[in-house]
Chain A
Amino acid sequence: MQNNASALQESVRRRSRAFSPKARHILYKSFTFLLVTLAFVIFYDWLCEGPVSGLFAMGKISRSVKGYFVPVCAWVVAAVSLNLVVGFSGELSLGHAGFMSIGYSTGIVVYNLLTKGYGWENIYLSMAVTMLAAGLMAGIIGFLVGIPVLRLRGDYLAIVTLACAEIIKSLLQCLYVSLDTTDGVRLLFAFPKNTLTGGTALLKGPTASAPIGTKGTTTDLPALYIIGFALVILTLFVVFNLTDSRTGRAIKSTRDNRIAAESMGIPVTRHKMIAFVTAAVLAGMAGALLANKSTYQPANFNLDMSIMVLVYVVLGGLGNVLGTIFSTTALYILPEELRFMKDYRMLVYALVLIFAMVLSNNPVIKGWVTSIVSLVKRRRKSINLFAEESRNAFAAGDDAQGANAREVLVIEDAGENETAVQPEAAEPDSNQAELPEEVPAEALAAQAGGRLTLERLYTADGTPLDDETQRRIELGLMLYEAYVDSGKGKKKGKKKGGGKA
């Protein structure tokens, strides 16, 4: 008896999750893209007072909300790119603001050169070239920084990245660039002191005065919305395609176990460089996008900013892109919305942050979440039993899912205490007795006149059930039929009648 019980156990298939891990991952990625697209459509529409905003009666977009979208796009790109280094490559980088500031400065210079200098009209074209240039510059510096830095381990790498960011910031704060359009187009550079005379000042050391994304002197916000959205989509494409590939796996392996990765023939430094430089390029583009707001000056790209992006990443989850998008949006908008608190703003922000971190790592809370989720998805254990002809199919190598397996019986929700039996297949038996209510089980069995017989049942791996188990199942079926017929039983699923007499 014991042996057959365990044989049955072996053929129990847990259908506890609807999708395979691979399918779930694809769903996750698609959902991320969809969410970002949806957010863009809604906000763009709201900005331009299009049909969707009318549909939801959102009214006119407020000045403050108008200004959220583009910076949030930029910070999402910065955070997702940092997640590539910290989450997927496993290296703590405290210098992300350095790459953003390079992108920022390059962005301002190139954009104004193109629009004011060469008179490019099309904002999309000029922004595209600006982004490319900003990303390229940041990538080059990222490469140069990475060569010595990525050979270090752990804490040392963190401190050196911090130092590199500070160096970059200090150098850029001494850079003076102005555009001279008198005799043809010229860029004038002065370093470290401002010795420039004439021309429009673009970068004035610690400050910058000519923002990007402008049509004439006003910021072309709808165009910037589109550009921000395009940049986020590009980032998602790059990060997802990189991490779900051979290179991505190699990068993740260097995070998990450096020595084992090397023993597998994976050059560790090279793969860390790939992650680092890609992150630098994307951060540069994000920095360029931030150059449209005068609230960001070269002096702002300091350690505080690096830490802020790191906080976005950690709260969103290392290696979790969708989570990073949520955390970045929430943590950017929160202090803006708390402005009414004036002096208490940062205090509340810090408290909310602590609360969020503690909650998301608390095992008790995690337990609650899991139990709520499991209520929604009922776990169903099912035991599948087959007829004799199926046994031959199995012997020939077909599996239970595929070919000509005739499932005679599926015992669903076969938990320890439940014995709900649900017969499938088989024709209705016309000899079914009409039974009154409140009849005890033995009486029912006796009244049913002899036993209900089923053909010999087999488990999924072809072993026949022994007589004892077979009889018990038949008896259980009989009782269930009687119970259901007496009107008291709740029918689970379709009832196609009892077994064959």
Chain B
Amino acid sequence: MTERQEKQTRHSDTRMVPYPSKAIVPERDLNVAPILETHHLGIQFGGLKAVDDFNLIIGRSEIAGLIGPNGAGKTTVFNMLTKVYEPTEGSVIFDGKDMMGKSIVQASKLGIARTFQNIRLFNQMTVEENVRIGLHNQIKYTTATALLRLPNFWIKEHRQHKRALELLSIFGMEGMADVRAGSLPYGAQRRLEIVRALATGPKLLLLDEPAAGMNPHETEELMNTIARIRDEFNIAILLIEHDMSLVMGVCEGICVLNFGKVIAKGTAREIQNNPVVIEAYLGKQKEG
């Protein structure tokens, strides 16, 4: 067995890691298996170790935050979780299943959904069509049914239409269902990305800087919406954010990355007072 496989089997035996040293899982989730476990996850690009020894456990309905300065490797972690990159070391166990060797499409079908830092919408399609793409694997019918326009086609299309409007109403966007996605304002595009990700019926939602470019009022609205999404859909959410008010306001457990390594993990209060975290963001206090 390779060293990597050895490491994996060792850690798969000890699923529930003792708290609070390695994980912050909310009280309500203590008796259920966590939705995500990463063990010594790392990726190396040539000589550069972009992420090193990343351990994280996320509870089934937890809102977790991943913060750190720019270039710390947060989006790289997301890419490894969604299998855009294959990690060079460590393992990801999602919903009890080992994610090694899975493709992006398989990861999506297992229940991980994500938004992108630089918005990746389908610009030439309308808002509703973008959400319906999310519903692709939820409400299905075959191509033959579509070509012959059998009754199942009309039933499923209507169901998709209704579900899409339902999802859009989370952000109050049903009115712009027929607008071309590329012509939406920036904030609306970000929200559409979140709706599209939700449409895939995920168990874990990864949000990459959802509050980027939003004013304080919009950020507060977003905070409430995220909490509402977690309550209504009963999913876990992992956020990458730079806006501390959002992170401290809504995240139950926060993990801080710097230069690819975890430097702190804990609740909002613990992180706020952690000197290592402060140094990472603001630099060391000058002596004298």
Residues of A within 8 A of B (CB): 20-22, 237-238, 241-242, 245-250, 252-253, 255-257, 259-267, 274
Contact residues, B107-147 vs A (CB, 8 A): 108-109, 113-114, 116, 120-126, 129, 132-134, 136-137, 140-141, 143, 146-147
Say whether A257 contacts B178, CB under 8 Å: no
A494 to chain B, nearest CB (A): 31
Residue of chain B at shortest CB distance from A319: B124
Known: A249-B132, A256-B122, A263-B104. 13 other contacts (CB 8 A): A241-B147, A241-B148, A242-B143, A242-B146, A242-B147, A249-B136, A250-B136, A252-B129, A259-B84, A260-B121, A264-B137, A265-B108, A265-B200
The residue in A237, A242, A247 that gathers the most chain B C-beta atoms within 10 A of its C-beta is A247
Cα A20 to Cα B176 with chains together (Å)? 12
Instruction: Return A7 CB to nearest CB of chain B, in Å.
Output: 18
Q: Which of B120, B129, B132, B140 contacts A260 (CB 8 A)?
A: B120
Complex interface: chain B residues within 8 A of A266 (CB): 105, 133, 136
- A21 near B126 (CB under 8 angstroms)? yes
Q: Do A264 and B200 have beta carbons less than 8 Å apart? A: yes
Which of A238, A246, A249 gathers most chain B CB within 10 Å? Answer: A246
Q: How far is the CA of A425 from the CA of B129 in the complex (A)?
A: 41
Determine whether the beta carbon of B109 is less than 8 Å from that of A265.
yes
* Complexed CA–CA distance, A388 and B109 (Å): 52
Nearest CB of chain A from residue B138's CB, rounded to whole Å: 9
Contact A252 B121 (CB under 8 A): no
Those of B195-240 within 8 Å (CB) of chain A: 196, 200
Q: Note all chain B residues with C-beta closer than 8 A to A21.
A: 126, 178
Report the nearest A residue to B132, measured CB to CB.
A249
The answer to whether residues A253 and B146 also contact, given A21-B178, A22-B178, A246-B136 and a CB cut-off of 8 A, is no
Q: Take A265-B105, A265-B108 as given contacts and tell me if A246 and B120 are in contact as well, using a CB distance cutoff of 8 Å.
A: no
Contact (A246, B178) CB under 8 Å given A253-B122, A259-B84: no
- Cβ-closest 10 pairs across A and B: A245-B146, A265-B108, A256-B122, A260-B120, A262-B104, A21-B178, A247-B143, A265-B137, A257-B120, A253-B133
Which residue on chain A has the smallest CB distance to residue B130?
A253
Establish whether residues A264 and B133, one from each chain, have CB atoms under 8 Å apart when the complex forms: yes
Most interface-central of A248, A259, A264 (chain B CB within 10 A): A264
Q: Would you call B82 an interface residue if the criterion is a C-beta within 8 Å of the partner chain's C-beta atoms? A: yes
What residues on A are CB-neighbors of B149 within 8 Å? Answer: 241
Complex CA distance for A87 and B116, rounded to whole angstroms: 25
Complex Cα distance, B22 from A177, in Å, reads: 75
B122 pairs with A274, CB closer than 8 A: no
Q: How far does the alpha carbon of A224 sit from the alpha carbon of B6 in the complex, in Å?
A: 70
Question: Considering the chains assembled together, what is the distance between the CA atoms of A263 and B109 in angstroms?
Answer: 9
B252 nearest CB across to chain A (Å) = 25
| Partner among A22, A249, A264 whose Cβ is within 8 Å of the Cβ of B125 | A249
A-B contact pairs, 6 of them (CB 8 A): A247-B146, A252-B125, A253-B125, A259-B120, A264-B108, A264-B137
B259 located at the interface, meaning its Cβ lies under 8 Å from any Cβ of chain A in the complex: no
Q: Are B147 and A263 in contact (CB under 8 A)?
A: no
Q: Is B153 located at the chain interface by the 8 A CB criterion?
A: yes
**Chain A residue at minimum C-beta to C-beta distance from B112:** A263
Does the CB pair B147–A238 fall under 8 Å? Answer: yes
Known: A242-B147, A245-B146, A246-B136. A263 touches B124 (CB 8 A): no
CA distance A264 to B192 in the complex (A): 14
Nearest CB of chain B from residue A410's CB, rounded to whole Å = 22
Which one of A237, A248, A264 lies within 8 Å of B134 (CB-CB)? A264
Q: Are B122 and A265 in contact (CB under 8 A)?
A: no
Interface residues of B in 59-116 (CB under 8 A from A): 82, 84, 104-105, 108-109, 113-114, 116
Is the Cβ of A241 less than 8 Å from the Cβ of B122?
no
Q: In the complex, which residues 180-201 of chain B have their Cβ closer than 8 Å to any Cβ of chain A?
A: 196, 200
> Which B residues are CB-close (under 8 A) to A253?
122, 125, 133
For the complex, what is the distance from the CA of A247 to the CA of B120, rounded to whole Å?
Answer: 20
CB neighbours of B108 from chain A (8 A): 262-265
Complex CA gap A267/B196 in Å reads: 17
Is the beta-carbon distance between B124 and A252 smaller than 8 angstroms? yes
Give bound CA distance, A259 to B133, whole Å. Answer: 13
Contact B121 A246 (CB under 8 A): no
Nearest B residue to A250, CB-CB: B136
CA separation between A264 and B137, bound complex, in Å?
A: 8
Q: Is the CB of A246 within 8 A of B147?
A: no
Task: Determine which residue in B105, B137, B156 has the highest number of CB atoms from chain A within 10 A of its CB, and name it.
Answer: B105
A262 nearest in chain B by CB position: B104
List residues of chain B with CB within 8 A of the CB of A274: 143
A221 to B204, CA, bound (A): 63
**Contacts of A256 on B, CB cut-off 8 Å?**
121-125
CB distance from A265 to the nearest CB of B (A): 4
Closest to B179 in A: A21
* CB-CB under 8 A for A241 and B200, given A257-B120, A260-B116: no
Q: Shortest Cβ distance from B238 into chain A, in angstroms? A: 15
CB atoms of B84 and A246 under 8 A apart: no
B27–chain A nearest beta-carbon distance, Å:
32
A63-B252 Cα distance, complex, nearest whole Å: 81
A242 vs B140: C-alpha distance in the bound complex, in angstroms? 14
| A185–B112 CA distance with the chains assembled, in angstroms | 61
In the assembled complex, how far is the CB of residue B117 from the closest CB belonging to chain A, in whole angstroms? 12
* A267 and B143 alpha carbons, distance in the complex (Å): 14
Q: Which of B131-177 contact A (CB under 8 A)?
A: 132-134, 136-137, 140-141, 143, 146-149, 153, 156-157, 160
In angstroms, how far is the closest chain B Cβ from the Cβ of A132? Answer: 16
Give which listed residue, A246, A252, A261, A265, contacts B146 with CB less than 8 A.
Answer: A246
A254 closest partner in B (C-beta): B122
How distant is A83 from chain B, measured CB to nearest CB, in Å?
A: 14
Contact of A250 among B84, B133, B200 (CB under 8 A): B133
Which of chain B's residues has its CB closest to A259's CB?
B120
A284 to chain B, nearest CB (A): 17
Q: Give Cα distance in the complex from A260 to B105, angstroms.
A: 10
Closest to B141 in A: A246
- Complex formed: what's the CA distance from A260 to B124 in Å? 14
* Assembly CA distance A237 to B104 (angstroms): 33
Whether B146 pairs with A248 at a CB distance below 8 angstroms is yes
**Set of chain B residues within 8 Å of A260, measured between Cβ atoms:** 116, 120-122
Contact residue among A237, A245, A261, A262 (Cβ-Cβ distance under 8 Å from B153): A245
Chain A nearest CB, measured from B191 CB (Å):
16
Q: Which residues of A contact B120 (CB under 8 A)?
A: 257, 259-260, 263
